Amino acid sequence: MTKGLRYLLVLVACLGFSVQAKNSFKVFLLAGQSNMEGQGVVDLDHPKYYNGGKGILNRVMSDPTKARRYAHLKDEDGNWVVRDDAFIRFRNKQGVMAGGVSIGFTGYGSDQSRHHIGPELQIGHVLGDAHREPILLIKTAWGGKSLYKDFRPPSAGGETGEYYKKMLAEVKEALAAVDKEFPALKGREPEWAGFLWQQGWNDMFDSKALTEYEENLVHLVNDLRKEFKSPKLPVVIGELGNGGSKAGANMLAIRAAQKAAAEHKGFKGNVKFVSTTAFARPKEESPNMGHGHHWFGNAESYFLIGDALGKGMLELLRP
């Protein structure tokens, strides 16, 4: 092959990629319960609470030893960056939140949401940085919901979970409203790119739910792939890592079930289990000392979880 022909083929390939990038956008579904909703505290909106600000995002970012890792979250003027190439859509109890990746897409009210983050923040930055075409994160999360009952997938048998149905309804709603809610995506075609799951707390407290967790998680992956007509849809399963390595028997059982589900036959190379236990921080160094189920509200924990889930997804997309 001549040098000129080789150059021409490379040019054609690049042009083909550019056309694809111009006319499409990648869609990622984020789902789970309260830890996917987002409980990481950003700042001191209530001076009397939050343990003097320990573990809040602004305090973490001001640490000189960590500043570089978080530098992309604010601009030169100290304002929170709002991306114009990566977007989030989340319906909470107050209504729909839709916009560029930034802080605030959580389960609180519209005002309180500005003071919290979940994994979606860094997931959006990681995936946004890695794609030429825009990305859209559709987040569907509700506190206190189990996989066994609330998210129960159809192929698990029994009654399909109310929140499994709501998840799909919100996905349909989001895709139908893209042109209105995200003008930058108007005219582009959505392309399913991945599913990220962060859940497990409620299933710990029901022996049957605990026993069936692995099987139900496998059903969830398979049913969503069928629903989205994407048989090899990349899936990332975030570990229930609350409390770190010092965990009780039930939590260890959920973790084992999550890992085993990711290793299920047929999932090799397209489903990944991501450990999160290393991101737990002591309650004494966190804003919500009584909320172990919410990583004590520690923003660093939520940021690092999002970073790990996002990078885990990239490993599946670009092996």
User: Cα–Cα–Cα angle for 302, 306, 312, nearest 5°?
Assistant: 145
**Domain presence at residue 265:** yes
Band (113; pLDDT cuts 50, 70, 90):
low
Closest CA to 56 of 112, 116, 126: 116
**Domain presence at residue 3:** no
**Domain presence at residue 230:** yes
Q: Residue type at 165? A: K
The domain containing residue 171 runs over which residues? Answer: 25-317
Q: Which of 13-17, 67-71, 106-110, 193-197 has the lowest mean pLDDT?
A: 13-17
Residues 265-291 pLDDT 10s: 999 999 999 999 999 999 999 999 999
Instruction: Please report where in the chains the tokens 């159809």 appear, as a residue.
Output: 154
At residue 212, does pLDDT exceed 60? yes
At residue 62, does pLDDT exceed 60? yes
Look at the chain and report how many structural domains it folds into: 1
CATH number, domain at 252? 3.40.50.1110
**Contact (CB, 8 A) for 101 and 125:** yes
**Contact (CB, 8 A) for 212 and 200:** no
**Domain presence at residue 16:** no
At residue 15, does pLDDT exceed 80? no
Instruction: Please report where in the chains the tokens 């967790």 appear, as a residue.
Output: 213
Closest CA to 236 of 89, 143, 123: 123
Please, what's the b/e burial string for 170-191 (b: 16 or more CB within 10 A of its CB; e: otherwise)? bbeebeeebeebbeebeebeee
User: Is residue 190 classed as helix, strand or coil in its secondary structure?
Assistant: strand
**Beta-carbon neighbour count of residue 7 at 10 Å?**
10
Q: What would the two tokens of residue 264 be?
A: 């299920």
| Distant-in-sequence contacts of 259-267, Cβ < 8 A, 24+ apart | 260/214, 261/213, 261/214, 261/215, 261/217, 261/218, 261/221, 261/237, 262/235, 262/237, 264/218, 267/218, 267/221, 267/235
**Domain presence at residue 250:** yes
**What's the whole-number mean pLDDT along residues 164-186?**
98
pLDDT on residue 49: 84
**Domain presence at residue 60:** yes
How many Å is the maximal CA-CA distance in the chain?
A: 72
Secondary element (H or E) of residue 254: helix 249-262
**Contact (CB, 8 A) for 15 and 123:** no
**Contact (CB, 8 A) for 287 and 45:** no
* Distance between CA atoms of residues 277 and 274, nearest Å: 10
- End-to-end CA distance of the chain, in Å? 28
**Domain presence at residue 18:** no
Instruction: Please report where in the chains the tokens 């940021």 appear, as a residue.
Output: 303
> Backbone phi, then psi, for 99, in 5-degree steps?
175, -175
**Domain presence at residue 80:** yes
Q: What percent of the chain has pLDDT over 70?
A: 92
pLDDT on residue 20: 42
